[in-house]
Amino acid sequence: MSIHARFHLAYPDFALDVDLTLPGRGVSALFGHSGSGKTTFLRAIAGLEHAHGGYLEVNGEVWQDDAKNIFLPTHRRPLGYIFQDAALFSHLTVRDNLNYGRRRIKPEQQRVAPDTAIELLGIGKLLDRWPENLSGGEKSRVAMARALLTSPSLLLMDEPLAALDHARKQEILPYLERLHDELDIPLLYVSHVPDEIARLADYLVVLENGKVLANGPLGETLARLDLPIQLGEEAGVVIVAQIAERDSEWHLVRVEFPGGRLWVRDLGTPIGHRVRLRILARDVSLARERIEGTSILNTLPAKVIAIANDAHPALALVRLDVGDSPLIARLTHRSAAQLELQPGMNVWAQIKAVALIG
């Protein structure tokens, strides 16, 4: 299962030129600065922009093939599109907004039941409310449920959290995680916020000036040091781990992943469940030998894979392998020189438990 998209769109001051094959399941995130082409790409996927000579195949269904004169208009593409603005119908209650989405689909084609969408997005208590009486986070959840009730083969989200403050974003993210975990609908998610990508994405596409700089599985792509653009202070990796042990006295849990184990803050996740850990490069220090008598709980054997310049000339990024898992450390060039770091060298990576983002 895959999504193959080939588009070329030329404007007076911008051109989108992409040829991508994306996974046909899970969350593929499109990341890039404003003007990089993320929204234009989604609009081409939706059929709102016609890239002449383009091609689009979604899990075996051809939506566009200009060589064969095939171009499905937007209303015939089985997709859901969620914008920054929830765009609810103000004259309809939440229940009627949901029914509007569902009525677009013939009964025999409906793959997502109303009760499923309502439960997944936690909007059962909102059904008789009017949009004007909803918070920004509630409007976003209703918009997502309405999109799901069109039973889409593909879900598009264009920075759906951009208009929300930090508190509302934290309210919505767990619901997006549930959509990721519980629905088998591929999702293309546009964002310029690293934290959203780290929590949601399986696959990452980095765009700049309408071209693809990098694409691949999230962990591998975040660990690359050769990208012309960096994620700034947020550079780091994402590791999928499993809860293995709980230390109730100190409110910590031990997680295991391919390559090692870490102690992290206990957020109540049951033992045996999977979690995502985001380890920022700024929170990783290196040593030639294992250090005893330190406050840092997590010390892991690692191998230096590559060293690259960071954005500031004083800093370096060091790519490491911890078993089968990639890691990045940020340190000064002076420290790297003092440690005599070289690719292939074995070191110890030190990671504070308080620094890990679950």
Ordered domains of the chain (ranges, CATH): 2-222 (3.40.50.300), 236-355 (2.40.50.100)
Closest by CA position to 221, among listed 234, 202, 249, 208: 202
Q: Does residue 216 carry a pLDDT above 90?
A: yes
| Measured torsion, CA atoms of residues 291, 297, 303, 305, in degrees rounded to the nearest 10 | -120
Give the mean pLDDT of 58-77.
Answer: 94
Q: Does residue 112 carry a pLDDT above 70?
A: yes
Give the mean pLDDT of 332-355.
Answer: 92
Q: How confident is the model at residue 357 (pLDDT cuts 50, 70, 90)?
A: low
Q: Encoding tokens for residue 157?
A: 């989200």
pLDDT digits (tens, 9 = 90+) for 305-320: 999 998 889 999 999 9
pLDDT digits (tens, 9 = 90+) for 132-142: 999 888 888 89
Closest by CA position to 310, among listed 237, 226, 242, 241: 226
Phi, psi angles (nearest 5°) of residue 289: -130, 155
CA angle, corner 194, sides to 346 and 154, nearest 5?
Answer: 115
| Amino acid symbol at 176 | L
- At residue 42, the pLDDT reads 94
- At residue 305, the pLDDT reads 96
Q: How confident is the model at residue 110 (pLDDT cuts 50, 70, 90)?
A: confident
- At residue 88, the pLDDT reads 87
Q: Which single residue is written with the structure tokens 């898992």?
A: 325
- At residue 43, the pLDDT reads 94
219-227, long-range: CB within 8 Å, 24+ apart, which pairs?
A: 219/325, 219/326, 220/326, 222/198, 222/326, 222/328, 223/319, 223/326, 223/327, 223/328, 224/319, 225/306, 225/307, 225/308, 225/317, 225/319, 225/328, 226/308
Percent of the chain with pLDDT over 90: 51
Strand order in the sheet with 55-58: 14-23, 2-11, 55-58, 61-65, 70-71
Q: Does residue 38 carry a pLDDT above 60?
A: yes
Q: Which of 13-17, 106-110, 197-201 has the lowest mean pLDDT?
A: 106-110
pLDDT digits (tens, 9 = 90+) for 78-91: 998 988 777 888 99
Query: What residues does 192 pair with on adjacent strands?
Result: none
Give the mean pLDDT of 59-71.
Answer: 95
Task: Tell me the longest C-alpha to C-alpha distance in the chain.
Answer: 70
- More confidently predicted of 194 and 252: 252
pLDDT digits (tens, 9 = 90+) for 286-303: 999 998 888 888 999 999
Q: Does residue 232 carry a pLDDT above 70?
A: no
- Determine the distance from the C-alpha atom of residue 21 to the mean position of all C-alpha atoms in its chain, rounded to a whole number: 17
Q: Which of 155-159, 187-191, 349-353, 354-358 has the lowest mean pLDDT?
A: 354-358
Q: Which residues, 6 or more positions from 92, have their beta carbon under 8 angstroms from its beta carbon?
A: 100, 131
CA distance 168 to 196: 13
